[in-house]
Chains A and B, each alone.
Chain A
Amino acid sequence: MANKILKKSDSFYAVYDRKPGEDKMNTHYCPGCGHGNIHKYVAEAIDELGIQDRTIIVSPVGCSVFIYYYFDLGNIQVAHGRAPAVATALKRAHPHAIVISYQGDGDLAAIGGNNIIQAANRGEQITVVFVNNAIYGMTGGQVAPTTLVGMKSSTTPRGRAIENEGYPMKVSELIAALTAPVYVERTALWDTSSRNKAKRSIKKALKAQMEGKGFTFCEIMSPCPSGWKLTPAQSLEWMKENMGAYYKVGVLRDEIKTREPIIKEKKTVTSKEIQEVLGTDIKPSEHYPTNPEDRYKNPSMKFAGFGGQGVLSLGTMLANAAMEQGFNSSWIPSYGPEMRGGTAYCFVNISDKEIGSPTVSNPDLLVAFNRPSLEKFEGDVKPGGIIMYDSTIIDVQPTRDDVEILAVPATGIAESLGNIRCANTVMAGVYLAKTKIMAKEALIQTLPKAIKKKHLIDLNIHALEKGFEFIENN
């Protein structure tokens, strides 16, 4: 366990130029620290697999935060515990990359606990090298989720107590309990033979990643003489005797041979295809000019009723058609605290000028589909405005005498057409026939955008025509 890595792999820099200070040859790790060995195994595996150019290694927060001093790989240093999330996106951006998330036990099991579980569960095609030294090394030896029961640390001065800190977390077992991971093994650094297994495990995981097999996880028990307050030699003994007794070395999952690879590739899509998918290359609509009286121009409207009566879609239908006829228009639903009480409503503005506030206190038009909304909003309508209400459903009459009032049996008419859900379109017809702010054809043109189910379009055209007839006959 020398802190000097003697024969350097290609995947290490020959001289550690990024490391501050005079000494550019030795690592910053304490004598007897396991990180150096693990780095060496990672570098050797990368060399042997010939993947140096396409490997990106994610450094955690912990003693190994400075991985980028040493590894001649694509390097990225990330926030505490978040390496699996960052690695997820690196891999998805570059499916050909080999992505390694190198993490300590505080980083991975404590603060990043959710991030590692979720990345594993998604089966991200990354390799996690999990250095379990049963303690927080970098911050001076505090308790980790992996600290053994009874073990002293600077934040468990009396030793880890199950009543206070619970039991040490067996992370590999947790990961192996998930379905997605393809390979999970726990190894250790306590003697030559165990160290060889650690190295083999890393290489095996990286190879599986190259083959697109899925999420691979290498836990390695590693000494932290400084945190444990032991000599390097004592550390190895202590680790084997105590950690080895609690954390069993061995393969917890290996489905590399049987798993079907998932090979992800980025596909290129042309601008034309993008516009098609997004529907952003929009064909101009037909214009059907009308000549409304001035008092009907540039209306602000409120549509109100129970959810399901088509109140919101009546609004979007009119606003959409208005847009196609060259007007400015806006639609805003009742939203937030206003939504309570079962009554849905929306505001629509149609204007030949730029629209300021999308809501107005005093609309030019109120269309009410239920009694509560008629009673609640009729007082707001601007003098000289219009109140339309569904007289099939509402059994009272508005009390205002300074507005135009239209009692429209919209639901009744819709029922006679065989579907009460087109009552809203009946209302649209009545409104257009009354005010002439848009032609019937303008609304017919827009129906396919408002009504997703094709077979309902004819029905709604009928409903619209019935609305027009209602005005012609009254």
Chain B
Amino acid sequence: MAKEFIKGNEAVVKGAILAGCQSFYGYPITPASEIAEAAAKFFPSVGRVFLQAESEIAAIQMTYGAAAAGERTMTASSSPGVSLKQEGISYAASSELPVVLVDIMRAGPGLGSIAPEQSDYNQIVKGGGHGNYKLIVLAPNSAQEMCNLTMLAFELADKYRAVACVLADGYIGQMMEPVEYPEPVEMKIDKSSWALHATKETRKNLINSIYLEPAELEAHNQNLQNKFAEIEKNEIRFDEYRTDDAEYIGVAYGIMSRIMRSVVDTAREKGIKLGLVRPISLFPFPKAKLRSYRENIKGYFVTELSNGQMVDDVRLAVGELKPVRLYTRMGGYVPSIEEVFEGFEKAFIK
């Protein structure tokens, strides 16, 4: 199949439409605005809804309504906007509404800058809103995956009636690469047992997140936890690069996984057996996979564009048997291959 050379952010929109997404509700913010702009261009042309909401707070609530209405729906933003969406995310998680959220992370805290960071890991993977919930989190590292993982996010959101997030950094959003498109998907899922279709059949349905009786709310929470456990069992995704004989395991996602791939090659040229595990799903996190190396390696080398957020999950997964060392940059700085390699040498060799 032939490919299109396209920006990651635009590949998200094409993937969404191919996945049968019926509505896009957004609010502009760099470096995610191309998503809203491409959605504004394409959604109405294929008979679907595009609306620029009054705020990110409203945009996520609109997806709450659209998902409740039974359609595939999405919103996209970048870090400060995602902070505002946390209210709606918590509600959608509790009401078990399949919503797809795309976060093109930028540097923070506060207004920060429009340059890339990966510092939304905690607010997305750990749940930035109130209550006991998880999002399904997918982390693309190419334009191709921006398309494919967006499509997967719709599928998983529906499969588990959960909020699924495509978590990318500004670099992955802004980068252009070849993308090969799958065929359009027909959404054939029958949601009439719970969704509001404004019909006689669905009149009995209730979308709700309030449970005043502790026993009821505990049971609801327990059901949610069971679902998240199910997701952990079924939906772990990762990628490995030169790990077979590795003495060191690198761990990185998004743009850092691209840089780390080159760092692995650099190390190998120098006779150092470095390999790379790239979590594609951040929740569920590939814990067992990471742990599986620990008897045979000298240590884990985690790199991320944050103050060290994913590293906590790596540490929880692998325990203390082998050192877990961290190389991070913040503030929108994306390190070079050489800088990361030097960081690795400092951590383990020198």
Contacts and interface: CB of A to CB of B under 8 A. Distances in A.
Chains A and B bind each other: yes
Interface string B27-71: 000010000000000100111010101110111011111101111
Given A89-B62, A337-B332, A79 B199 contact: no
Interface stretch (B120-128, B173-181, B284-292): B173-181
Given A76-B206, A268-B47, A361-B337, A323 B258 contact: no
B262 A282 contact: no
B259 interface: yes
Interface in B181-216: 181, 183-184, 186, 196-200, 202-203, 205-210, 212-213
Interface string A336-370: 11000000000000000011111111000000000
A79 B62 CA distance: 11
Interface of B: 1-5, 14, 17-18, 22-23, 25, 31, 42, 45-47, 49, 51, 53-55, 57-59, 61-66, 68-71, 73, 87-88, 91, 107, 113-116, 170-171, 174-178, 181, 183-184, 186, 196-200, 202-203, 205-210, 212-213, 255, 258-265, 332-334, 336-338
A267 to B, nearest CB: 4
Contacts of B213: 20
Contact of A274 (B17, B55, B113): B17
B203 A85 contact: no
Interface in A70-95: 72-79, 82, 85-90, 92-94
Contacts of A359: 334, 336
Contacts of B176: 316, 319, 330-332
Contacts of A463: none
Given A329-B5, A337-B332, A356 B262 contact: yes
Interface residues on A, range: 35 or more
A172 interface: no
Interface in A268-286: 268-269, 271, 273-275, 277-285
Interface in A244-267: 266-267
Which among A86, A268, A271 has the highest number of chain B CB atoms within 10 Å?
A86
17 contacts: A56-B196, A75-B206, A76-B65, A76-B207, A79-B88, A92-B49, A92-B66, A94-B69, A115-B57, A277-B46, A278-B18, A285-B2, A328-B177, A335-B115, A336-B114, A337-B333, A357-B259
A212 to B, nearest CB: 15
A336 B116 contact: yes
Contact of A282 (B1, B45, B58, B171): B1
A436 interface: no
A474 B350 CA distance: 50
B58 A115 contact: yes
A282 B183 CA distance: 11
A224 interface: no
A357 B4 contact: no
A331 B5 CA distance: 9
Interface stretch (A47-55, A229-237, A290-298): A47-55
B187 to A, nearest CB: 12
Contacts of A74: 196-198, 202-203, 205
Nearest to A275: B184
Given A54-B199, A76-B196, A337-B332, A323 B5 contact: yes
B118 to A, nearest CB: 14
A333 B170 CA distance: 11
Contacts, number: 238
Going nearest first, the 7 A-B pairs with the smallest beta carbon separation are A336-B115, A89-B65, A97-B198, A356-B262, A93-B69, A356-B261, A86-B65
A20 B214 CA distance: 12
Contacts of A337: 113, 115, 332-333
A277 B39 CA distance: 12
Which among A52, A74, A90 has the highest number of chain B CB atoms within 10 Å?
A74
Given A18-B206, A85-B58, A357-B258, A331 B69 contact: no
A320 B5 contact: yes
Given A329-B5, A330-B176, 16 more contacts: A79-B91, A82-B61, A85-B57, A85-B59, A85-B62, A86-B62, A92-B66, A94-B69, A271-B186, A274-B18, A274-B46, A275-B184, A323-B5, A330-B177, A335-B115, A358-B255
Contacts of B73: 89, 93
Nearest to B25: A89
Given A90-B69, A356-B262, A115 B54 contact: yes
A366 to B, nearest CB: 16
Which among B46, B210, B263 has the highest number of chain A CB atoms within 10 Å?
B46
B114 A267 contact: no
The A interface, classified by DSSP as helix, strand, loop or mixed, is mixed
A330 B202 contact: no
A65 interface: yes
Contact of B175 (A18, A98, A275, A331): A331
A79 B174 CA distance: 34
A78 B63 CA distance: 12
A15 B22 CA distance: 37
A434 interface: no
A156 interface: no
Nearest to A58: B65
Contacts of A68: 206, 208
A334 to B, nearest CB: 10
A277 B42 contact: yes
A96 interface: yes
A179 interface: no
B198 A94 contact: yes
A470 to B, nearest CB: 26
B64 A89 contact: yes
A114 interface: yes
Given A54-B198, A92-B49, A118 B58 contact: yes
B61 A271 contact: no
A54 B201 CA distance: 10
A29 B115 CA distance: 52
A244 B287 CA distance: 65
B45 to A, nearest CB: 5
Contact of A76 (B31, B68, B258): B68
Nearest to B185: A271
A282 B203 CA distance: 44
A89 B198 contact: no
Nearest to A55: B198
Contacts of B174: 332-333, 335
